Amino acid sequence: MLRLLGILTLGNLLFGGRHHRRALGRGLLFGALLGYLANRDFDADRVAEDIREKARKAKRTARDAVKAAKREIRKAELDRRTAEIHEKADARRAEREERLDAIRAEIEARKARREEVRKAGSEQIAKQIYALPVSGTNEAKVIRELTEDLERDARTAAIAADVPTIDFPEGDGKYDSSGKYGYVQ
């Protein structure tokens, strides 16, 4: 601080003259500049420290550049893998859609065949309509009713044929329903 004050005073003396105000401003400016330069240490230790600091900054900058490059490489690899996974998923989705389209087409074809069979069957049934004879209409009605009863009985027998039955012995008391509730016979 004392050095700065001395330099300011020296500057005022050197640049003094007729115009004291201008000389004072110039002296202060020159003194401040000389004081700043005088306060900086221009020795070998200071230079070595500055060199070490600049080397540290250069190493840090190089390390940051390597990290950024590695980060970019990892990001590019991740993007490539992500794109590959999306391509596989899209391929599977397209394959699944093709299978579903084939199944839907097969279902439509089956429906069309079933409809054709149904129409052909209804045409055959329409052709099998029995005409009633002109004489003896009661006999024809009886024959038709018997035919319908036989068809109904045949359908019932077909349904009941697959049903298993349990045969209970007649004389066994444990199968008696009145014994279930504790009634005495």
Q: Which pLDDT score, from 0 to 100, does residue 136 have?
A: 61
CA 65 to chain centre: 35
Contact yes or no for 28/11 (Cβ under 8 A) = yes
User: pLDDT value at position 59?
Assistant: 95
- Residue 17 gets the label, from left (phi > 0), alpha (psi -120 to 50) or beta, of left
The pLDDT value recorded for residue 107 is 94
pTM exceeds 0.75 for this model: no
Query: In order along the chain (185 residues), what is the average pLDDT of each group of 10 residues?
Result: 59 57 68 69 72 93 95 96 96 95 94 86 64 64 86 79 71 67 56
